[in-house]
Structure 1
Amino acid sequence: MRRGIAELPLHGGHVPPWLALRMKRLSKLLLRLLIDEYGTEGLLERLADPIWFQALNNLIGMDWDSSGSTTVTAGILKEVLSEEDFGVRAAGGKGARSRRTPEELRQIGKIYELDVEKYIKTSKLVAKVDTVALQTGYQLYHHVFFVDREGRWAIVQQGMKPDIKMARRYHWFDTNTFTMDPHKGIIGIKMNYALNTISREAKEYQKTLLDVVSEDPRKIEREVETLKAVEEGYRPLVYYKPWDADEIPLLRRYKSLGKLELNRKALEIARELSVSNYDELLLVKGLGPSTLRALSLVLELVYDVHPSWKDPVTHPPDPFKFAYAVGGKDRVPFPIERRTYDELNSFLELLLEKGKRERDLVKQVTRISKRWRFPEEEKRAT
């Protein structure tokens, strides 16, 4: 862990019931104030902001730097939104709950009278992008879809990398562009490289990939097997292009992300459907990370067309000062102060009863908090 940076290490454990009840109460008050002030669109925009989301997590007393800052905070929000008529609801969650997203979106669609199939497709495509089109070795295990009454949406999902015991969080906000720098933000450790096929630098790559998948899958399979043999030292009599000493490291880079195995059935489906854009290709059933890695290797070494290898992590956030509100679950920067927590909730309840003028006066407190800096020595991993 680099000093002073929240990097979402994987944490086990659970939130004790006494704290979960307070988190839920505070979240309900904060959502009401936010929506009164900025509307449901303003809430969704903030949920799609990695720093704001992390600060909210710290404010309600969750660990300041754990993977639970995603799963617990999103779970609390989903529960509150299901109980209160705020004009926003959430579907999905962690593990098995994420697979119930389509079913839950259908329920929300009935309540808000929305074209639900469009949102189910969006949910699947966003998950495919962060699993297949962008590969850094993280396995997606959390997916929450927020949608408001007008049909605007935000998605927060998280992947884990067990070998380094870290997580990274992906934020999306109501976009029609899913495969060209689509994220509102990504929080986590920035890797040395990532198979990034959704960068603007990969525009030619996406176009060539669609041309390649229109060919006979058996031809692509032969090319993949030849390339894998090259790594083992085999030199074909007629080589596909001049030998390049950088090819072996490139092959090993691909293999470091996982196996190189084509799903011929998926390629046959893509060819039969004559997919016309990258979104459609990603949604083809069976087209997973290993198939895209194999296809990408063919593009690089046979067609000399390249994806981006830049990891699109935006920046590691540092909202640590918000952990001073009521304390942290794991006692950083200090144990949760129940009395302070209850007083904060009571104050916000009173504030909600007041008019806008009184609320504007409270905003002046932000001028003080913006200037305040926490002692660096109190910032430590939980």
Structure 2
Amino acid sequence: MKKSGNADLALMGGTIPSWLFARMKQLALPMVEAIVLQNGKEDFLARLSNPFWFQSFASVIGMDWNSSGATTAVMSALKQTINPVSKELGLYVCGGKGKESLKTPQELVEVGNKTGLNGNDLSRASKLSAKVDNTAVQDGFNLYLHSFIISDEGHWSVIQQGMHTKTKRARRYHWHSENIQSFVEEPHTAICGLNEETIINLVDKRARPTQQSILDIAKEQPDKILKELPHLLVPSYCDVKAKDIDIKRLGSILWLAQEAQTTKFEDLLLLKGLGPRTLQSLTLVSEVINGTPSRFRDPARFSFAHGAKNAKPFPIPLEVYDETITTLKSAVEIAKINRTDKLRAIEKLSKLAQLAEANFEPSQNFDAIVKKENKDSHKYGGRSLHGFSKAINNQLNLFDSGE
């Protein structure tokens, strides 16, 4: 993959409730397994190096789509779910947030001992990537998260994130071993962040070690230094708005999920019995597993799979979330014994939605879709940080506290 773009993330506090994080881990693993089964380990590492895909993945598993916390949550969930099955999956996740990041080099040495890879070289790559983003690229962001994901074939991706204390923003950096020829000459797959001030970038090609080059780059404007990177400017408001969504793409998924439509497609017979709301979620999950890079330009759309913990755009529909997990886990387990029909049916969901999208004219506007999701939330065990969803007099759901 080539340079994928920039995204600026708002620093948002708060923790992830245990009832949500447990589900995030349960859904993340079969999604990774499905990608590896269908496309291989390298495809998963390439997807991780795409900041748009990364944000979409975070959204579909229930994180607030525009929060910096999505990075920490995704990498923590992946580490806790992948590492127990690393030998089978061929993937290892090292590092993490804060003190965990300091353990990365030693963890990579241990991976080398298990796989036969050169752990010292991997450790050096980890240290260099962190050094480049913390020192060589002086953009005002100090690293606080460093995760290194390695395959048993020696391919890897690095996800690391820095904090800008003055602006209260975060910037995420993506690396991918496929593209790296040198650690000191434009090594990044992408740097995610809004360019707010002058950046001193000593790994730009123009920074070959001459004093004049260094002085020139120090004077450059950020948009010149980071040229050719499309921008995903993630807003700081705690909500999902119409402008964040491709309504035609979302609308085609809602249309396909209608029970009257799914019965028309022979390919979906293996998914018979799933309700329309679960098919909606499963179609969005399918797209994250199977979609091409151009499909992730609006990461907020994927929050319409399972909502978000802050109830924006709507509370987490626990019953739907659990049914999605069960369906995907079952499909992956069956695929492991060379029966891929059910996994292919799930893959077909996203393809059918894309076909429908070509001539689709949305009949519902964004506000109507969000209103319906909130009104029906109690039917699906809706829950957020505010408590459980509760229907009162057929009005929009209020919240009832509960553990």
Q: Confirm or deny: 8 A CA contact 1:197 1:307 kept in the other structure.
A: no
> Paired residue for 2:115?
112
**Cα–Cα, structure 1 residues 130 and 6, in superposed 2: closer, same or farther, change >3 Å?**
closer
AA aligned to 2:12 is H
Name which of 338, 343, 361 aligns with 2:318. 338
Aligned residue in 1 for 2:208: 206
1:364 to 348, 359, 364: 348
Check if 1:150 corresponds to 2:153.
yes
SS at match of 2:70: helix
Aligned length: 283
Give the Å deviation of 1:306.
6.4
TM-score normalised according to structure 1 size: 0.69
Deviation at 1:28, TM superposition (A): 1.1
Q: Deviations over 1:90-109 (max 9, x none)?
A: 11101111111111112111
Out of 186, 189, 192, the residue aligned to residue 187 of structure 1 is 192
* Residues in 2 aligned to 1:57 and 1:189: alpha-carbon distance in whole angstroms: 20
Task: Rate the CA distance shift 1:376–1:128 in 2: closer, same or farther, 3 A.
Answer: farther
Deviation at 1:77, TM superposition (A): 0.3
- Offset of residue 180 of structure 1: 2.0
Aligned to 2:100: 97
Higher relative contact order, chain-length normalized (CA < 8 Å, sep 6+): 1
Contact 1:196/1:309 (CA < 8 Å) preserved in 2? no
Corresponding residue to 2:327 among 343, 347, 362: 347
Name 2:17's counterpart in structure 1: 16
Write the distance in 2 (CA, Å) between the matches of 1:206 and 1:36. Answer: 42
Query: Offset at 1:308?
Result: 4.5
1:194 deviation in Å? 1.4
Distance across 1 between alignment mates of 2:196 and 2:133: 15
Q: Which runs of 4+ in 1 moved over 6 A?
A: 304-307
Identity %: 35
One-letter code aligned to 1:29: P
Determine if contact 2:172/2:191 at 8 Å carries over to the other structure: yes
- Name the aligned partner's letter for residue 183 of structure 2: F
Which residue in 2 is equivalent to 1:196?
201
Q: What amino acid maps onto 1:101 in structure 2?
A: T
5+ unaligned residues in a row in structure 1: which ranges?
A: 213-295
For residues 335-374 of structure 1, give each alpha carbon's deviation from its aligned partner in whole angstroms, at most 9, with x where no partner exists.
Answer: 1110110010111122222522333333232135443889
Work out the CA distance in 2 between the residues paired with 1:305 and 1:134: 11
Kindly provide the CA deviation profile for residues 117-145 of structure 1, in whole angstroms up to 9, marking residues without a partner as x.
Answer: 11111111111111111111111110000
What is the aligned-residue RMSD (CA, Å)? Answer: 2.6
CA distance in 1, matches of 2:134, 2:342: 47
1:7–1:66 Cα contact (<8 Å) kept:
no
Q: Name the residue aligned to 2:393.
A: none
What TM-score does the superposition give when structure 2 sets the normalisation length?
0.65
Q: What is the distance in 2 between the residues matched to 1:367 and 1:58?
A: 20
Change (3 A) 1:28 1:346: same
Greater strand fraction, Structure 1 or Structure 2: 2
Kept in 2, the 8 Å contact 1:144–1:157? The answer is yes
Separation in structure 2 between the aligned mates of residue 28 and residue 195 of structure 1, nearest angstrom: 38
SS at match of 1:141: strand
**Mean alpha-carbon deviation: is it higher for 190-199 or for 133-142?**
190-199
Larger radius of gyration between Structure 1 and Structure 2: 1
- Specify the alignment match of 1:65 in structure 2: 66
